[in-house]
Amino acid sequence: MAAFRYEAIDSTGKTVNGVAEAESARAARVQLREKGLTPVELAPVSAGVAEGGKALRRSLPAAEMVMLTQQISTLLNAGLTLERALSAVTEQTENPRTRQVVAALRGRIMEGQSFAQALGESGDIFPVIYRSLVQAGEQSGHLDTVMERLAEYLERRERMRQKVVLALAYPAVVTLVAFAVVTGLMTYVVPQVVAVFADTHQTLPLLTRLLVMLSHGLRQWGILILVLVVLAGWLFARAMKLPAFRGGVHVRLLALPVLGRLLRAINTARMASTLSILVGSGVPLLTAMDTARGLVTLLPMQEGLTDAMARVREGGGLSRALAASRQFPPVLIHLIGSGESSGTLAKMLDKAAQQQQEEVESRLATFTTLMEPLLILIMGGVVMTIVLAIMLPIIDMNQMVH
């Protein structure tokens, strides 16, 4: 039975899109007519994806990927065949795009492809680690176990990503609000208040004069300043595509006292968890390291992992290779060394990943704890400076009257 993507019109004249499963295109049209739908367009899902489904080739949202993997894992563990599991997921999934992706996978598998091959022809929807694990599971005959571990891995990674986003959201929102408040004070409030002192012909205090100059500059050149800031951001984004510039920025980020250690812990946790699930599923160590390298975002750590791969390829141990790069925490290296000596490398990698994730959570808590009072102090200091600059002339006038 094949899957067909259709566009049809219902009895009310409304256009309906979806996926139908039938033995042939003719049977699919009959099936649609029985449902009261008039087919307008009908095409095999797999063909649609291969030929022009550009939107279908974009990666699925992380939450959808986690749910999809969990559903396939549960159905495989329940004893269903892969084809029946994918058919059940197609029926249960509410997201139309996810339904089309799963139907396309099922169509390719029914054409005789393996699950890994079907995933590989889906463009960038499924990451390299996903395809590597599925291939290892099929080769070992334990696809159900591998899919279960993959679902747990994706869930842990998504949970950590959400914690990072939530931790950074508060400082970002406070900074934007503070910037908006200060900009409003400088461009609208300060000019109106300071205009009161213009008729007195008194010499304004230095702080007030500086505030007036800054306010006048923002009112006169605010648009130009905004354009320059946007242009600078665009140039910085372009420069970050150059490996040399990006590497320099990453080196400076890693050197920062709190943020640098947080970023190192995040990348280490990502690398360790990836190595753990790949090595534990029977993927060769060098292949696992190459996959993990693609998930490390900081260039110095990525280059350190590349050097470690070269040493492992020459016969060296993983712990010594990572230690020589000087880019990874000592606790990770010690745990890997213990796993190598005891023959439990996958287990110790998993333990190292959990330890690094706990460290990420601890450093996120430290980061947010430090950022909250710091942002409040900075915002309070700026507002106090503006208020003081406005109050100083008033104080001088009172002294003159007395």
Per-residue pLDDT tens over the stretch 299-333: 999 999 999 999 999 888 888 999 988 888 888 89
CATH number of domain containing 188: 1.20.81.30
Residue 115 lies in a domain: yes
Residue 378 lies in a domain: yes
Angle at 347 between CA 346 and CA 348, to 5 degrees: 95
Q: How far apart are CA 47 and CA 5, in angstroms?
A: 10
Q: How far apart are CA 128 and CA 258, in angstroms?
A: 31
Which pLDDT belongs to residue 356?
Answer: 83
H or E, element range at 39:
strand 38-44
Residue 137 lies in a domain: no
Q: How far apart are CA 259 and CA 251, in angstroms?
A: 12
pLDDT under 50: residue ranges of the chain: 47-56
Which pLDDT belongs to residue 400?
Answer: 56
Residues 98 and 244 in one domain: no
Residues 41 and 116 in one domain: yes
Residues 98 and 239 in one domain: no
Residues 117 and 253 in one domain: no
Range of the domain at 211: 160-402
Centroid of chain to Cα 32: 39
Residue 131 lies in a domain: no
Residues 298 and 242 in one domain: yes
Residue at which a domain ends, from 80, 110, 126: 126
Residues 321 and 263 in one domain: yes
* AA letter at 351: K
Residue 310 lies in a domain: yes
Task: Note whether 158 and 61 are within 8 A (CB).
Answer: no
Helix axes 330-342, 345-401, angle to 10 degrees: 170
Closest by Cα among 93, 177, 215, 123 to 378: 177
Which pLDDT belongs to residue 135?
Answer: 83
Residues 274 and 365 in one domain: yes
For 285, 308, 323, the CA distances from 316, given in Å and listed in that order, are 12, 9, 11
Residue 139 lies in a domain: no
Task: Note whether 128 and 291 are within 8 A (CB).
Answer: yes
Residues forming beta bridges with residue 5, ordered by sequence position: 19, 43
Residues 200 and 274 in one domain: yes
Residue 155 lies in a domain: no
Residues 215 and 295 in one domain: yes
Q: How far apart are CA 146 and CA 129, in angstroms?
A: 12
Residues 171 and 74 in one domain: no
Residues 89 and 170 in one domain: no
Number of DSSP helices (H) and strands (E) in the chain, helices first: 18, 3
* AA letter at 337: G
Residues 379 and 297 in one domain: yes
Residues forming beta bridges with residue 43, ordered by sequence position: 5
Which pLDDT belongs to residue 48?
Answer: 40
Residue 266 lies in a domain: yes
The number of distinct structural domains making up the chain is 2
